[in-house]
Amino acid sequence: MTSSNRKVRLRFAPSPTGSLHIGGARTALFNWAYARRHGGRFILRIEDTDRERSTPEHEAAVLEGMRWLGIDWDEGPDVGGDFGPYRQTERFDSYAELAERMVADGTAYRAFDSTEEIQAMRETWMHSGQKPVYQGRDLDPEESARRAESDPFVLRFRVPEGTTRFTDMIRGEVSFDNGEVDDWVMVRSDGTPTYNFVVVCDDTSMEISHVMRGEEHLTNTPKQVLLYEALGLEPPSFGHFPLILGKDKKKLSKRTGDTAVQSYREKGYPPEAVLNFLCLQGWALDDKTEIFSVQDLIGHFDPADVSKGGSIFDPEKFLWLAGEYVRASEVGDLAERCLPYVVAAGLATEADLRERRDWFERAVATEQERIRLYADLPARIAYLFARDGEVVYDPQAEKNARKHADRLDTLKDYLAWLEPHLQAGSPAEEVRARTRDWVGERGLKFPQLFQPLRCALTGAAGGPDLFDVMELLGPQAVRKRLQAAAERLA
């Protein structure tokens, strides 16, 4: 394309004005995948030139979010690299010098308009249907230099006549009439450089070969391409991803859904599922595979295959995907990942769970196909930690149990029958089989025993196999819960 013999170097350049956004994460992911696929480098650069809103805490949160997802970088503020520094505010010196040169050769000029004047112009443009473009209001060089000594000014880029074209890796040929492009501000009156200026400087000096970002940057691209041309530099290849949309079809925002990667982490989404879901926003591995790893992404990602239209973020499908990952987990791993949530819910201490590790894993196994998020587990296994006389009966469970007029006798007789098994510690399979026989011999239907039994043991209307539950509970708890139920269900 633009640069055939350049080394492949891509960057993700978030501004630390908040935690990692779901859209930013996808941008990072695709850039990362492209770099990895082509044996290139992936660079993390912090765009902190908005000093008002940028904070070290946000920067840390962004890095943490990336790490959690498993997107690693070869160069960045924390790991360094040969093209540092990797925070823009630490690179200010290099911008100033270039700006001076551009004023000297006329590709940039000083503008002395006050904020109010600019405001007024914009008002006029918007209401009168004129082109909302600021162009060519520069003074002759001498007057400009003279006024510069007393009055504040900004440096603007002088947009030449013509048409600016570039080949977008996702959209193909894109062109803008230069008459539509503002003589945009490169350097503010306080001497600090603006985004479009800084980006070009940094991408150049960091030898970035491909710039892939969200579609909201599409109109910035001609400004940047023009700057590359004015500087006699070869621009990188550009690509603009479609936006991730909320239910309202507008750019996903906090109003229309959770946008922070961190909040999905807290809710207990497996990071692999988050990554997988992000891939599905605008890209597909093939015509039928929904579940795949980042290795598959790396092996097949091509920006030309990315959809051009925006995609509405579907929380339902996201949840389904999370569940798929949870179900496919190895139980030990799943237990490890759920453990913090069980502790946070106050059901047990970490030490306790680690001591009863085998038991805990078995408990997790009973719920593996019922939970979709790690955070779903605590509520589902809370009954295992309840006091035997105080198991919380779900209204539906109690209703089911009370449907059977013979419930009290059934439970009492069943407990009596069960007692020898409890004492002998009979395995679940055996008790399960024998119980079925017992139900048959007594001429009962299964629900007549199982509904009261489930309510007594777990308090829930649905749940795992009751004989697995009994094993987890242990003989004493089973006894007590059945006895308690004989009173509570009277």
Partner RNA sequence: GGCCCCUUCGUCUAGUCAGGCCUAGGACACCAGGUUUUCAUCCUGGCGACAGGGGUUCAAAUCCCCUAGGGGUCACCA
So which residues are the catalytic ones?
254
Q: Of 74, 314, 336, 388, which one interacts with RNA (CB under 7 A)?
A: 314
Shortest distance, CB of residue 109 to RNA, whole angstroms?
A: 14
309, 395, 420, 443: residue in contact with RNA (rule CB under 7 A): 309
Please give the Cα distance from 201 to 102 (Å, whole number).
13
Compare residues 137 and 357 and give the one whose CB is closer to RNA: 137
Both structure tokens of 42: 């992936």
> Which of residues 172 and 420 has its CB atom nearest to RNA in the complex?
172
The answer to whether residue 152 forms part of the interface with RNA (CB under 7 A) is yes
Q: How far is CA 152 from CA 51, 142, 182, 186, in A?
A: 20, 16, 20, 14
* Interactions with RNA, residue window 122-141 (CB under 7 A): 122, 125-126, 129, 131-133
Nearest-approach distance from CB 438 to RNA, in angstroms: 12
- Binders in 41-60 for RNA, by CB under 7 A: 47, 49-50, 53
Which range, of 99-107, 261-269, 316-324, 474-482, touches RNA by CB under 7 A? 316-324
Radius of gyration in angstroms for the set of CA atoms belonging to the chain, rounded to a whole number: 32
Among positions 301, 341, 374, 467, the unique one binding RNA when judged by CB under 7 A: 467
Number of residues written out for the chain: 490
Instruction: Point out which span in 28-36, 75-83, 173-181, 472-480 binds RNA (CB under 7 A).
Output: 173-181
- Residue with smaller CB distance to RNA, 82 or 287: 287
379 binds RNA (CB under 7 A): no
CB atoms within 10 A of CB 56: 10
| Segment interacting with RNA (CB under 7 A) among 91-99, 137-145, 281-289, 347-355 | 281-289
CB 349 within 8 A of CB 424: no
User: Which 3-state string (H, E, C) describes 215-267?
Assistant: HHHHHHHHHHHHHHHHCCCCCCEEEEECCEECCCCCECCCCCCCCEHHHHHHC
Q: What's the token pair of residue 75?
A: 């160069």
Q: How far is the CB of 122 from RNA (least distance, A)?
A: 4
Q: Binding to RNA by residue 94, rule CB under 7 A?
A: no
3-state secondary structure of 270: coil
Q: Does 304 bind RNA (CB under 7 A)?
A: yes
Which stretch, 30-38, 100-108, 300-308, 348-356, contacts RNA (CB under 7 A)?
A: 300-308
Strand, coil or helix: what is 41? strand
406 sits near RNA (criterion: CB under 7 A)? no
Least distance CB 191 / RNA (angstroms): 9
Interaction between residue 220 and RNA (CB under 7 A): yes
CA dihedral 53, 196, 60, 343 (to 10 degrees): 90
Q: Does 286 bind RNA (CB under 7 A)?
A: yes
Contacts of 87 (CB under 8 A, 6+ apart): 45, 46, 48, 77
Min dist. Cβ of residue 316 to RNA (A): 4
Q: Which of residues 328-347 bind RNA (CB under 7 A)?
A: none
Q: Min. distance of Cβ 350 from RNA in angstroms?
A: 27
Each residue 432-451 as x (binds RNA by CB under 7 A) or -, in order, gives x-------------xx--xx
Can you tell me the distance from the alpha carbon of 229 to that of 213, in angstroms, rounded to the nearest whole number? 21
Please, which residue, 235 or 323, has the CB nearer to RNA?
323
The closest alpha carbon to 269, from 372, 194, 121, belongs to: 372
Sheet-wide strand order for 41-44: 41-44, 9-12, 210-214, 237-241, 163-168, 172-177
Q: Does 362 bind RNA (CB under 7 A)?
A: no
Backbone angles phi, psi at 143, to 5 degrees: -65, -40
Q: Pick the stretch among 98-106, 142-150, 169-177, 343-351 that binds RNA (CB under 7 A).
A: 169-177
Residue 150 interacts with RNA (CB under 7 A)? no
d(CA 336, CA 376): 14
236-275 mask for RNA (x: CB under 7 A)? ------xx-x--xxxx------------------------
Q: Which of 38, 147, 188, 488 binds RNA (CB under 7 A)?
A: 188
CB of 216 to RNA, least distance (A): 4
Q: Which amino acid is at 171?
A: R
User: How far is Cα 262 from Cα 69, in angstroms, rounded to an integer?
Assistant: 10
| Least separation in angstroms between CB 464 and RNA | 6
Burial of 441 (0-12, 13-18, 19+ CB in 10 A): exposed
* Closer to RNA by Cβ: residue 53 or 101: 53
Alpha-carbon dihedral sign for residues 254, 260, 263, 268: positive
Q: Mark 54-93 with x for binding to RNA (rule: CB under 7 A) and - for no binding.
A: ----------------------------------x-----
List strand residue ranges (DSSP E) for 123-230, in order. 154-157, 163-168, 172-177, 185-187, 210-214
CB of 261 to RNA, least distance (A): 17
Distances (CA, A) of 128 to 119, 123, 487: 14, 8, 81
**What is the distance between the alpha carbons of residues 176 and 185, in angstroms, rounded to a whole number?**
19
Q: Residue count at the site for RNA (CB under 7 A)? A: 87
Among 463, 471, 481, 485, binds RNA (CB under 7 A): 463
